Amino acid sequence: MGYHDIYKRWQADPEGYWMEAAQAIDWDTFPSRALNSDNAPLYEWFTDGMVNTCYNAVDRHVENGRADQVAIIYDSPITGRQSKTTYAELQAQVAQLAGAMVAKGITKGDRVIIYMPMISEALVAMLACARIGAIHSVVFGGFASNELAVRIDDAQPKMILAASCGLEPNRVVAYKPLIDGAIELSNHKPDSVFIFQRPEFVADLIDGRDYDWHDVQQGVTPADCVAVEGNHPAYILYTSGTTGAPKGVVRPTGGHLVALNWTMKNIYNVDPGDVFWAASDVGWVVGHSYICYGPLIHGNTTIVFEGKPVGTPDAGTFWRVISEHNVRSFFTAPTAFRAIKREDPKGEYKQKYDLSCLNALYLAGERADPDTIHWAQNLLGVPVIDHWWQTETGYSIAANPVGIEQLPIKVGSPSVAIPGYDIQVLDEAGNPMKPGELGAIAVKLPLPPGTLPTLWNAEERFKKSYLNTFPGYYETGDAGMIDEDGYLYIMARTDDVINVAGHRLSTGAMEEVLANHPDVAECAVIGAADELKGQLPIGFLCLTTGVNRPHDDIVKECVKMMRDQIGPVAAFKLAVVVNRLPKTRSGKILRATMVKIADSQEFKMPATIDDPAILDEIREALQTIGYAK
């Protein structure tokens, strides 16, 4: 059956469609119904099924003949270390760690924060939580103490699972001081912290709170899988929204299992036993879905890669990993390819490797520009599949469903709606727009299994952020259009979220940091186009009257504050001092106009602008840092 038939089958009977997909999961109790609309417009799937994620991702494969298959390949060009963990070894490691967690009082529903770099123990930690029904929240290692503290206060974890350090190509990032700093800043205090000591930085442990990862597991009873309800939160993953406070996206257990398993064949076209590689980080949703859960649930081999596309040691690293480990489907962000292309425009490194194992390249996380797609396609000679999704959904909303049927590729489009999603482009009043017309992209409710049912402890914010603008729809926050053939085009965000090297960041959160500088009276942050990272943040600072310190010093202090308070991942290095910010007569800062100026694009003078002369000052300031040419 082709894509269009399958999509129609889903449309005709969505519940039947997902009940059938649910059969690929091993349930303790099969759900009596698929969709639960009791609380509409809040929906749940498989509410009364009983199931365990870790059992499906690990134990069942051990029982079904995959005990000796490699589950995780750890490949770290930064340390030069590699290791392979079979499903049987993974089961033993996860059960033992889960046993140690139980011994320290962790039970079903408790939250556990994971702050770990790209090592296989990060996956062991996630699975150990899943094994006992604890709800993990992984925090990306590039976030600073302050961001970690905000998440500790929101998730209220009983425990933190961490490593002593992460490794960036140019430095060791000591995690332990960041964790200690975060716990000091937060109001909520976790009871215990397990630290995986890495040889590059051995952390001091605080007596009575911190435990060595291996010591604490000595002599404990390995934990069994605890079945949880289908709607039990598998994890919380914080992501950026319009305001500074991150949103805790909740992932429901049953739908997560069913949907991710479905995507492995239908979208990524891998069969159990194949090697699948997503070069991302466990701190992002791509890492959750496609480094950890998706491939393992489906019985694939996954790769935990600790390195960068360039510089570790060179622009051929990806090709080495693909050929050495026999990768069949490869997933990364367009920015990684732009980085490789910049270093090795002719793709000479690729000539050293046999990439015949590779069937397709998948790109997501940010807009895939046609140049990058063409370059990748020419270099690799495999289909380059752009697909569009968000932390909130956990898997593709639109993709080319290669495992069902490879549809013609239209460069610049992530292709078509995946079964489960009825994607619509709406005008401001919520009316559907015609093919080719630009509008807000929304998805008709209910969203499919595995997508967010709510935000952690913030139901009103969930409704306000996603449901209220277009009643009956989920508002994606992206704008774009659908063409006559049903292909989607994603053009821009409709909120203050920017995308820096595939990382989702909030300009609102950055403005909150800048506003705290004692000399800054008012500020704005925009995302300007960047050839490598897609977007880069630029800060505009209006100083308090009477401040006459050198502007360079103030900018440097702001850059440092951003690094200390949000983290290096914000890549905030550019700021300018201006006298005033352009505003509407009602006082709203005209950020979109500032973006156009920074990107040297034509723009229409906003009719509501208070004083157009300010725009000249903005342009001149931007020119001093190489923008607005």
C-alpha neighbours within 13 Å on the C-beta side of residue 223 = 29
- Per partner kind, with CB cut-offs from 5 to 8 A, the member of ligand COA, ligand AMP, none near residue 150 is none
CA 546-551-556 angle, 5° bins: 125
Is 493 a residue that touches ligand AMP (CB under 6 A)? yes
Q: Residue 537 and residue 522: Cα distance in Å, rounded? A: 16
Q: Residue 247 and residue 469: Cα distance in Å, rounded? A: 18
Least distance in Å: CB of 364 to ligand COA?
Answer: 6
- Where does this chain touch ligand COA (CB under 6 A) — which range of 185-193, 235-243, 370-378, 495-503? 495-503
Token look-up 């001081």 returns 177
Q: CA torsion 369→323→123→66, rounded to 10°?
A: 130
List Cα–Cα distances, 391 to 20, 236, 286, 353, 590, in angstroms: 25, 10, 8, 34, 28
List Cα–Cα distances, 574 to 275, 596, 600, in angstroms: 41, 17, 17
Least distance in Å: CB of 492 to ligand AMP?
Answer: 8
Reference 510, options 566, 556, 560; nearest CA is 566
130: phi > 0 → left, psi -120 to 50 → alpha, else beta; which? alpha
Smaller CB separation from ligand COA, 123 or 310: 310
Is 76 a residue that touches ligand AMP (CB under 6 A)? no
Calculate helix-pair angle for 87-103, 120-132, nearest 10 degrees: 60
- Where does this chain touch ligand AMP (CB under 6 A) — which range of 24-32, 385-393, 403-411, 558-566? 385-393
> In the structure encoding, which two tokens stand for residue 3, read together?
């894509």
- Per partner kind, with CB cut-offs from 5 to 8 A, the member of ligand COA, ligand AMP, none near residue 493 is ligand AMP
Dihedral sign, Cα of residue 240, residue 233, residue 421, residue 387: positive
- Per partner kind, with CB cut-offs from 5 to 8 A, the member of ligand COA, ligand AMP, none near residue 501 is ligand COA
Interface size with ligand AMP, residues (CB under 6 A): 20
Least distance in Å: CB of 286 to ligand AMP?
Answer: 7
Least distance in Å: CB of 221 to ligand AMP?
Answer: 38
Is 376 a residue that touches ligand COA (CB under 6 A)? no
Binding mask 266-285 for ligand AMP (x = CB under 6 A): -------------------x
Smaller CB separation from ligand COA, 284 or 349: 284
- Per partner kind, with CB cut-offs from 5 to 8 A, the member of ligand COA, ligand AMP, none near residue 512 is none
Other Cβ atoms closer than 10 A to 268: 29
Is 284 a residue that touches ligand COA (CB under 6 A)? yes
Least distance in Å: CB of 502 to ligand COA?
Answer: 3
Is 230 a residue that touches ligand COA (CB under 6 A)? no
Smaller CB separation from ligand AMP, 89 or 281: 281
Is 477 a residue that touches ligand AMP (CB under 6 A)? yes
Is 154 a residue that touches ligand AMP (CB under 6 A)? no
Is 132 a residue that touches ligand AMP (CB under 6 A)? no
Smaller CB separation from ligand COA, 222 or 311: 311
HEC string of 151-177 equals HHHHHCCCEEEEECEEEECCEEEEHHH
Is 388 a residue that touches ligand AMP (CB under 6 A)? yes
Least distance in Å: CB of 96 to ligand AMP?
Answer: 33
Largest distance between two CA atoms of the chain = 74
Using CB under 6 A, which of 365, 419, 527, 534 touches ligand AMP? 365
Binding mask 128-157 for ligand COA (x = CB under 6 A): -------------xx---------------
C-alpha neighbours within 13 Å on the C-beta side of residue 543 = 17
Token look-up 């993953």 returns 237
Reference 47, options 244, 274, 230, 245; nearest CA is 230
Reference 442, options 386, 380, 488; nearest CA is 488
Calculate helix-pair angle for 551-565, 145-155, nearest 10 degrees: 40
Smaller CB separation from ligand AMP, 22 or 441: 441
Least distance in Å: CB of 334 to ligand AMP?
Answer: 8
Using CB under 6 A, which of 6, 67, 173, 409 touches ligand COA? 173
What does the binding site for ligand COA look like in residue numbers (CB under 6 A)? 141-142, 166, 168, 173, 279-280, 284, 286, 308-310, 332-333, 335-336, 339, 365, 501-503, 532, 568-569, 571
